[in-house]
Every structure is written in C-alpha cells, then in structure tokens.
C-alpha cells in the first residue's frame, strides 16, 4: 500500500503543482488521470525521489518515501514520460549496463536477469538490435524492462502510451496489467480508455488537486442515466454550449456530436446513452473549472 497524505509542492516560479494531495494506492494497477499540466508528473517525480515536496508525507508500507530515498530507490521501478536510450547500443547490452548499476555485480546472475526481462517484455528475439532501430512501442517495452530490474514493489509509468499505434499500445498495456498483479503500479495518463480497461482504482487530478478517487465503475455509475447525446450543426454549437452542461464535443462525419449532463432529457432530439469514464472525467474538470472561476 502506498499512502499519500497532504502532499504539496510549489515551484520557484510560483506554480503550485500539488495541493494537499491525499491518496491510498493499493497493490495493482492505479490510474492517475488528468490533462496536461494537472500535476501528474510532479506527483510521479516526487514519489520517484527526483524532487522534494514542500510538505506532507508518503509511505510505501514501512518506507518513508520522502525521507528514506535510498530505501525507496531500491524497490522502485520508474519509466518517465521522456525515456531516452542510447541509439547505437543493443537492447541486451544497455539492459546489462542498467542491471550492473542496479547492483547485479555477478555476471552470470546479471545475464540471467537480463534474459528473463527481455523475454518478459517480448524483446528477446531483437536483443542484439540497436535501440535506435526500435519502434516507439519497442522502446517503451525496453523502458519497462529496465523499470523491473530488482523486482520493484512500486512501479511508476508516466504517459507510457503517448505516440504509440493501437497495436503497440495494446501490447504495452497488457504487459502493464501482468506486472500489476503483484506490485503497486501507478499509470499516469490523459488517455481515459487506458484507465477504464486496466485499473481497478483511479484518481482524477487537475491543477494539483485530487477531484475524484475511487473505482472507475463506481464513478461511471454515479452519472449513469444522466448522459445525453445529440448531433448538432456547427453553427448551433455555441448556443448549445451556453444553454446546457456540455461535457464533450466530437466531430463525426464533419458534424459535432455533443455529450450533455442532465437529470432529464435536456431538449428535443437528445437521446440517452450509456455513461463512460470519459463523461465522468470531463464532468469533474468542468465542475472544477466552475469552482475556480466562482
């Protein structure tokens, strides 16, 4: 269990990236949803011991995350948003180098660990290939392999599927799901479907604040029966947005399809639809913006 209490962080430029963040994150996949600039990366970097918090506390079981950084690093696997690789080095050689840095000093043991991880992430057949020739998905799977060195108890992945094609994305997410059976895995993302498909628990964060925490299915049930859809003309859209609580707008065949939150049919032509986590997500962001503006 990762327990976070009243974690706050303000940068020198005055931006308050985290505002009294409190979360309980159990073993398994945990989705952290939020738009760009929401504070997700700031939270990840703080938990990964890459920056100091101003106040609050975080504990991974018996480990004080904010004060015992060496203990955290021994049980941490981290895949940052921008994971760089050496393009002229093979996957096998670079993972061997990372393993040595992680404390695997005996060559035979290190070779066994490297082979096992490359097989786990399905990169064993291309282990001799230089990383510069890897696709985006292959680089991300290599990133997970290095994050799993040392059998971590906490794995943090920050926006891992950005830029991946659908096939690579599915392969990567399946790999994360397997890892999440045994350890705490925090998946930070702005892609709602990643959380819907994978995470038994999640939180929505914006402007450094936790807006909602709990189970995705429970969150969806909270708005079930209150989501309405209609195809409108483009010239109608501003009026619809002014009159109704529009959660999202998407162009389909060149015409806007709007999702509206309402307890009953808002206007003629709107039809009820099954709620999704995306509706919950946009609803929370909308409510938060209104509260900030008030």
The whole-angstrom separation of Cα 142 and Cα 84 is: 11
Q: Is the dihedral of CA 272, 276, 282, 288 positive or negative?
A: positive
Closest by CA to 247, choosing from 204, 286, 199, is 286
Q: Report CA-CA distances (Å) from 216 to 29, 33, 100, 195.
A: 12, 11, 40, 8
Mean pLDDT score across all residues of the chain: 92
Residue 265 has what pLDDT? 95
The whole-angstrom separation of Cα 213 and Cα 192 is: 14
The tokens of 139 are what? 């680089």
Domain 2-214 matches domain 221-293 at the CATH topology level:
no
| pLDDT surpasses 80 at 212 | yes
The whole-angstrom separation of Cα 257 and Cα 233 is: 9
* Rounded average pLDDT over 155-171: 84
Residue 173 has what pLDDT? 85
* Rounded average pLDDT over 260-268: 95
Residue 85 has what pLDDT? 76
pTM of the predicted structure, to 2 decimals: 0.88
Percent of the chain with pLDDT over 70: 100
| Domain range 2-214, CATH class | alpha beta
| Domain range 221-293, CATH class | alpha beta
* Rounded average pLDDT over 53-72: 95
Residue 239 has what pLDDT? 93
Domain extent listing, the chain: 2-214, 221-293
């Amino acid at each position: 269990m990762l327990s976070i209490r009243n974690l706050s962080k303000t940068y020198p430029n005055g931006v308050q990236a985290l505002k009294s963040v409190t979360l309980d994150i159990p073993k398994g996949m945990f989705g952290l949803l939020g738009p760009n600039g929401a504070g997700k990366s700031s939270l990840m970097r703080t938990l990964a011991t890459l920056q100091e918090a101003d106040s609050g506390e975080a504990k991974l079981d018996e480990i004080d995350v904010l004060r015992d950084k060496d203990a955290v690093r021994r049980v941490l696997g981290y895949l940052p948003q921008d994971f760089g690789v050496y393009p002229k080095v093979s996957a096998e050689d670079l993972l061997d180098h990372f393993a040595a840095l992680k404390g695997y000093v005996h060559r035979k043991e290190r070779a066994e660990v490297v082979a096992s991880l490359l097989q786990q992430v399905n990169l064993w057949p291309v282990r001799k290939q230089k990383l510069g020739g890897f696709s985006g998905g292959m680089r991300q799977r290599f990133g997970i392999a290095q994050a799993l060195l040392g059998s971590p108890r906490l794995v943090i992945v920050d926006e891992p599927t950005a830029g991946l094609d659908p096939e690579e994305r599915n392969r990567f997410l399946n790999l994360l799901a397997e890892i999440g059976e045994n350890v705490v895995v925090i998946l930070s993302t702005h892609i709602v479907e990643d959380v819907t498909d994978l995470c038994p628990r999640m939180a929505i964060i914006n402007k450094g604040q936790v807006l909602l925490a709990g189970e995705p299915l429970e969150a969806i049930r909270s708005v079930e029966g209150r989501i309405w859809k209609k195809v409108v003309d483009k010239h109608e859209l501003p009026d619809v947005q002014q009159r109704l609580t529009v959660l999202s707008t998407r162009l389909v065949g060149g015409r806007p399809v709007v999702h509206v939150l309402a307890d009953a049919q808002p206007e003629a032509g709107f039809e009820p639809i099954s709620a999704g986590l995306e509706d919950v997500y946009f609803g929370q962001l909308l409510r938060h913006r209104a509260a900030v503006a008030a």
